[in-house]
Amino acid sequence: MESETQAGPAGAALPLPPMKWDAWGDPALAKELSADVKALLAAALGVTGDAAPGPGADEVLLHPSRLTAEDLKALAAVVGEAHVSAADADRLPRAGGKSTPDLLRRRSREPQDAPDAVVLPGSEDEITALLALCAERRIAVVPFGGGTSVVGGLDPERGGLAAVVSLDLRRFDALLDLDETSGEAVLGAGLTGPAAEALLAERGFELGHYPQSFRFATIGGFAATRSSGQDSAGYGRFDEMVRGLRVVTPAGVLDLGRAPASAAGPDLRELFLGSEGTLGIITAVRVRIHPVPAAKAYEAWSFPDFATGTAALRAVEQQGTGPTVIRLSDEAETMVNLAMTEKIGGEPAVTGCLAVTVFEGTPEQVAARHELTRTALLAAGGTSLGEAPARAWEHGRFNAPYLRDSLLSAGALCETLETATDWRRLSDLRFAVTAALTEALPGALVLCHISHVYPTGASLYFTVVAALGSDPLTQWAGAKRAACDAIAAQGATITHHHAVGADHRPWMTDEVGELGVRILRAVKAELDPAGILNPGKLIP
Amino acid sequence: MESETQAGPAGAALPLPPMKWDAWGDPALAKELSADVKALLAAALGVTGDAAPGPGADEVLLHPSRLTAEDLKALAAVVGEAHVSAADADRLPRAGGKSTPDLLRRRSREPQDAPDAVVLPGSEDEITALLALCAERRIAVVPFGGGTSVVGGLDPERGGLAAVVSLDLRRFDALLDLDETSGEAVLGAGLTGPAAEALLAERGFELGHYPQSFRFATIGGFAATRSSGQDSAGYGRFDEMVRGLRVVTPAGVLDLGRAPASAAGPDLRELFLGSEGTLGIITAVRVRIHPVPAAKAYEAWSFPDFATGTAALRAVEQQGTGPTVIRLSDEAETMVNLAMTEKIGGEPAVTGCLAVTVFEGTPEQVAARHELTRTALLAAGGTSLGEAPARAWEHGRFNAPYLRDSLLSAGALCETLETATDWRRLSDLRFAVTAALTEALPGALVLCHISHVYPTGASLYFTVVAALGSDPLTQWAGAKRAACDAIAAQGATITHHHAVGADHRPWMTDEVGELGVRILRAVKAELDPAGILNPGKLIP
């Protein structure tokens, strides 16, 4: 849908990915920075001017495709001529993801890396044939869904092979089954969040997975990266929604998940959830669904400080009072209104720390969950702010990433990173990461919130804004390294929902140990002996 | 605890496992069959007499230990002389698990297989050294917890190696950490269910994992077999409780699970949950815990038929009304009062299908969950039976397995098996398995219940009672094969909570596919290149 309205490079032979090639999202939804934000940038960071604009799509230089005419003919023999292209206009929009380093690279006027061709297979058999062809011709394969990776998961790395192609899954866009009795649907991997929800809504059902990338990211991408949505308190992480999946690997096809639960050995679904295209291509996912909620309620809260708010969220989650959304901004994030994108940088709308709660379900469920949660939050020291701030958060919930592009154009570097740990260690973790970022980027604004809660712990999500230096890629790389080192030293996870990609790969050994890495390599060697699947990602 | 009171073989040098060597559980708790049960056996199966008694512990013949004096000396050098034994009295109680075939084998007067020695390591370093020694001397290792396997998971198979030892984890019996804030505890793998709960209760916490094997089985065994307890509706399956685990493998030690949730690649914990000792030795498990519930409520229900009752349980689970326990017996199971062990075979206490619900939590939670569940069950056609039948079920919840021993002595074969599938397929699955069992064992009683529910499906648990034939091992093997083939043909899981062991191994390829099996073999080859860990189990 989005692709038809977006301004993409001219001359594309294939349908375009849903996101703009050099920025987040749909250009129609991008906004100028408000006067408030500009004032904040000037006051906090001394950023006043505009950065030099990047090149237009037709000005970008790509390294020429390394594929021969014979290679392209062989690819076309598998997927059909209409579904393969080595045109720059098709390669550029799949040149990478949407991290700040990605966006900075897209703005370069030097020759850029891009996949050597794009292929759009239409069936599992075509994927099987493509993988065999690529193994034979030593061509790496980067699976492509919505293109929303912020961890370098789409970098067109060849891994020592002759070339690399982008395997775009957009043709896997069907609702393959809907079982109303069991509350399950089988969704094609290439369906975007909105496309999947639209198909389910026709039958009165909902998936309820709303990560910030929702409008563009795909079902296969959600599974391959262990995505977590803003409604995770109510509906779970995406990996918890997965009842089964189909994966095409160079060694054959897997169809995993025979029951809602099983004791038949290791759960092999859990090897492919989070596999990031390194072990196989996910083509279809069987997910848990629920009826479209009939009722909804909102309430925002203020807490005197982050520690008090954290304890309140913990009480709610450990008591199981049932909010669908629950999140808490720290003092700094609250002060700049980051949770309400239309008010960012304006007069602080809330003092202390803002928390947002949303409740969904039947009217009875909503009433009961709201009341229990309310009681717990009041007991924990919260002050109700009524509905408005919670509705404002929801209204702008997918818009924050657009800001990054505008900030970059205004001369400010803005990036996010996230982690998770047990409740006991959450405060220490927040201080350690904040200290690492502040030391690496003196004068930077470091904002933090909790957006995903579990009985035993929670996630921390950091937003960093700093004045753009003369070498922003190196500038951010240093800050990112410092933050990741701090996370690893604290014993927390290197990523709660952004995945590993290329950017977190140096910390995978901290995460799973050397033996854990050996296990991943052994599985990869069995499934992908030629090493064609997404080289340079996830597995060190 | 139990071991001190049990009647074990004379001459044991080591502490005994918690279960009697030739029967389920603690002999002090075993009971004679009631007159009602005897009447039922006579009427339904024509079983009237007593079978010949099996041999006493001192009459059993074991194949002699294959270990040399030098082997034993080397083992003792690792764990100390006090912690290794090749005495028959130590080998016999670890000769197998507690399936009906196991019990039949224990009754044989022919020489029996048993591990060639028993070792009781006291530290991870000792396990590491033991695994190195066993790889060097080509000795297989069968990890031993409570000894409650009913799928041949403890069979002393050598897998072509020179010998086999039982590695008893009973010395890993400490509460290693308790984090009240996060609601987490780190439990030694050798703690039995009651021992773990006692340690947690001292601090006001509870794990809440109550499988039928609770009194004897261990924390490590729960993890290694993906156990599921009777309170799974409230507290989840054991695998869902696991926040982290430590595993000693021949290739090194793994310490997995850095956060409550993570997107850092495949979840490697899920490879070891359900690994059944084939990939490593689990030594400690970090689990989610909750405060000991302050309140509890009970209500039993009658449904006119199993289909109506099934729809009612589905409504409760999909609405999330929050029972801690919810289970439903079919017409046949209800008729023989199987859910109330003290009334089995007596006048039917309930007509139609009995359902049991139990609620735990704070008084407010219990009241709210009870009321919501009650409303859903009434709307679905249930008739309340009050508290008594639910309390009767709870009173006898761990006793049913004792019956098997008494039935066997009375000339009746009794065994159970279980599976799970989506709600949509549950009825077809029940009919297919019942038909397979009835065809293989003409005249057998086949009883069924649902004991674990999920939003997308449920488990089915079958109890089969038949007159003991002249070759009961072959008799049951045929029935088991027929049931497993029917389960596989229906696309259901081969086991919901009993695990794979040796008995379900022939169906693992149906469960995960040939490529899934190749993945498991690749992981095993990486971690256990000498193939010493529990050969003949799980991985075909």
- Chain B segment 161-180 residues within 8 A of A by beta carbon are 179
The 3-state DSSP class for residue A308 equals: helix
d(CA B28, nearest CA chain A) in Å: 31
pLDDT of B7 > 70? The answer is: no
pLDDT of B4 > 90? The answer is: no
Contact state of A263 with B458 under an 8 Å Cβ cutoff: no
- Chain A segment 256-275 residues within 8 A of B by beta carbon are 256, 258-275
Smallest CA–CA distance from B369 into chain A, residue: A368
B226 touches chain A (CB under 8 A): yes
Eight-state DSSP code of residue A170: T
Percent residues over pLDDT 90 in chain A: 86
Contact state of A254 with B513 under an 8 Å Cβ cutoff: yes
Which whole number is the average pLDDT over A190-203? 98
Eight-state DSSP code of residue A423: G
Q: Which residues of A touch B182 (CB under 8 A)?
A: 422-424, 456-457
pLDDT top residue among B397 and B187: B187
Distance of CA B140 to the CA centre of its chain: 23
- Rounded to whole angstroms, the Cα distance separating B413 from B482 reads 16
Smallest CA–CA distance from B528 into chain A, residue: A519
Distance (Å) of CA B357 to CA B299, B381, B451:
5, 15, 11
- Rounded to whole angstroms, the Cα distance separating B117 from B71 reads 10
User: Which one of A262, A292, A362, A500 would you mutate to disrupt binding with B, by most B Cβ within 10 Å of its Cβ?
Assistant: A262
Contact state of A523 with B527 under an 8 Å Cβ cutoff: no
- Rounded to whole angstroms, the Cα distance separating A141 from A534 reads 6
pLDDT of A385 > 70? The answer is: yes
Res A40: pLDDT: 87
In the structure, what pLDDT confidence band is assigned to residue A433 with cuts at 50, 70 and 90?
very high
Between helix A124-137 and helix A69-79 the angle, nearest 10°, is: 160
Res B1: pLDDT: 32
What residues form DSSP beta bridges with B112? Answer: B62
A128 touches chain B (CB under 8 A): no
Smallest CA–CA distance from B286 into chain A, residue: A456
Res A28: pLDDT: 82
- Rounded to whole angstroms, the Cα distance separating A326 from A316 reads 9
Res B233: pLDDT: 97
Res B2: pLDDT: 36
B148 burial via Cβ count (<10 Å: 0-12, 13-18, 19+):
buried
Which whole number is the average pLDDT over A236-250? 98
Tokens 């069979």 belong to residue: B155
Instruction: Map B155-177 to HEC letters.
Output: CCCCCCCCEEEEEECCCCCCEEE
Sheet containing B84-85, strands listed edge to edge, beginning at the edge strand earlier in sequence: B84-85, B117-119, B163-168, B139-144
Question: Pairing mode, if any, of strands A117-119 and A163-168?
Answer: parallel
> Which residues are CB-neighbours of B212 under 8 A, at least 6 positions away?
B230, B397, B398, B400, B401
Average pLDDT of the residues of chain B: 95
B149 touches chain A (CB under 8 A): no
Is B301 within 8 Å of A312 (Cβ atoms)? no
- Rounded to whole angstroms, the Cα distance separating A406 from A409 reads 5
Element (H, E) at A445: strand A445-450
pLDDT tens profile A487-502: 999 999 999 999 999 9
Q: What tokens does B408 get? A: 């066997």
Is A46 within 8 Å of A95 (Cβ atoms)? no
In the structure, what pLDDT confidence band is assigned to residue B341 with cuts at 50, 70 and 90?
confident
Smallest CA–CA distance from A286 into chain B, residue: B456
Neighbours of A268 (CB within 10 A): 27
Sheet containing A84-85, strands listed edge to edge, beginning at the edge strand earlier in sequence: A84-85, A117-119, A163-168, A139-144
Is B234 within 8 Å of B322 (Cβ atoms)? yes
Smallest CA–CA distance from B222 into chain A, residue: A263
pLDDT tens profile A455-467: 999 999 999 999 9
pLDDT tens profile B62-116: 999 999 999 999 999 999 999 999 999 999 999 999 999 999 999 999 999 999 9
Res B40: pLDDT: 87
Sign of dihedral through CA atoms A67, A68, A70, A76?
positive
Smallest CA–CA distance from B322 into chain A, residue: A320
Q: Which of B264, B372, B520 sits opposite A495 (nearest CB)?
A: B264
User: Which one of B253, B372, B456 would you mutate to disrupt binding with A, by most A Cβ within 10 Å of its Cβ?
Assistant: B456
- Compute and round to an integer the Cα radius of gyration of chain A: 23
Contact state of A508 with B452 under an 8 Å Cβ cutoff: no
- Mean pLDDT is lowest, of A37-41, A141-145, A446-450, A502-506, for A37-41
pLDDT top residue among A245 and A4: A245
A204 burial via Cβ count (<10 Å: 0-12, 13-18, 19+):
exposed
d(CA A503, nearest CA chain B) in Å: 11
Contact state of B264 with A512 under an 8 Å Cβ cutoff: yes
In the structure, what pLDDT confidence band is assigned to residue A376 with cuts at 50, 70 and 90?
very high
At B28, which amino acid appears? A
- Rounded to whole angstroms, the Cα distance separating A120 from B324 reads 48
DSSP codes joined into one string, A52-114: PP---TTT--BPPP---HHHHHHHHHHH-GGGEE--HHHHGGGS---SHHHHHHHT-SS-B--
Smallest CA–CA distance from A253 into chain B, residue: B515
- Rounded to whole angstroms, the Cα distance separating B25 from B18 reads 7
B404 touches chain A (CB under 8 A): no
d(CA B21, nearest CA chain A) in Å: 25
Q: Which of A270, A273, A518 sits opposite B526 (nearest CB)?
A: A518
Q: What tokens does A3 get? A: 């692709």
- Rounded to whole angstroms, the Cα distance separating A42 from A462 reads 21
User: Which one of A128, A150, A151, A182 would you mutate to disrupt binding with B, by most B Cβ within 10 Å of its Cβ?
Assistant: A182
ipTM above 0.90, yes or no: yes
Res A8: pLDDT: 53
Give pTM, 2 decimals. Answer: 0.97
A182 touches chain B (CB under 8 A): yes
- Chain B segment 302-361 residues within 8 A of A by beta carbon are 314, 318-320, 322
Which whole number is the average pLDDT over A163-180? 98
- Rounded to whole angstroms, the Cα distance separating A79 from A244 reads 26
pLDDT top residue among A375 and B405: A375
Which whole number is the average pLDDT over B288-311? 98
User: Which one of B151, B243, B249, B268 would you mutate to disrupt binding with A, by most A Cβ within 10 Å of its Cβ?
Assistant: B268
Res B400: pLDDT: 85
pLDDT tens profile B484-504: 999 999 999 999 999 999 999
Q: How many CA atoms lie within 13 Å of A282's alpha carbon, on the beta-carbon side?
A: 34
pLDDT tens profile B115-138: 999 999 999 999 999 999 999 999
Q: How many CA atoms lie within 13 Å of B291's alpha carbon, on the beta-carbon side?
A: 10
pLDDT top residue among B47 and A534: A534
Res B125: pLDDT: 98
B474 burial via Cβ count (<10 Å: 0-12, 13-18, 19+):
exposed
- Chain A segment 475-494 residues within 8 A of B by beta carbon are 491-494
Eight-state DSSP code of residue B246: E
- Rounded to whole angstroms, the Cα distance separating A515 from B254 reads 7
Is A56 within 8 Å of A43 (Cβ atoms)? no
Q: Which of B253, B269, B288 sits opposite A456 (nearest CB)?
A: B288
Is A445 within 8 Å of A465 (Cβ atoms)? yes
In the structure, what pLDDT confidence band is assigned to residue B8 with cuts at 50, 70 and 90?
low
Nearest to B394 by CA among B293, B320, B297: B297
In the structure, what pLDDT confidence band is assigned to residue B54 with cuts at 50, 70 and 90?
confident
pLDDT of A191 > 90? The answer is: yes
A109 burial via Cβ count (<10 Å: 0-12, 13-18, 19+):
exposed
Q: Which of B258, B270, B288 sits opposite A270 (nearest CB)?
A: B270
Res A9: pLDDT: 65
- Rounded to whole angstroms, the Cα distance separating A341 from A337 reads 7
Res B9: pLDDT: 65
Which whole number is the average pLDDT over B451-465? 97
Is B263 within 8 Å of A495 (Cβ atoms)? yes
pLDDT tens profile A24-65: 988 888 878 888 888 888 988 988 877 778 899 999 999 999
Smallest CA–CA distance from B488 into chain A, residue: A258
Percent residues over pLDDT 70 in chain B: 98
Q: Which residues of A touch B290 (CB under 8 A)?
A: 318, 455
Q: Which residues of A touch B495 (CB under 8 A)?
A: 262-264
Res A6: pLDDT: 43
Eight-state DSSP code of residue A456: T
- Rounded to whole angstroms, the Cα distance separating A245 from A370 reads 35
A276 touches chain B (CB under 8 A): yes
Res A202: pLDDT: 98
Contact state of A227 with B511 under an 8 Å Cβ cutoff: no
The 3-state DSSP class for residue B329 equals: strand
Is A225 within 8 Å of A276 (Cβ atoms)? yes
Is A415 within 8 Å of A100 (Cβ atoms)? yes
Nearest to B208 by CA among B247, B237, B172, B180: B237
pLDDT of A5 > 70? The answer is: no
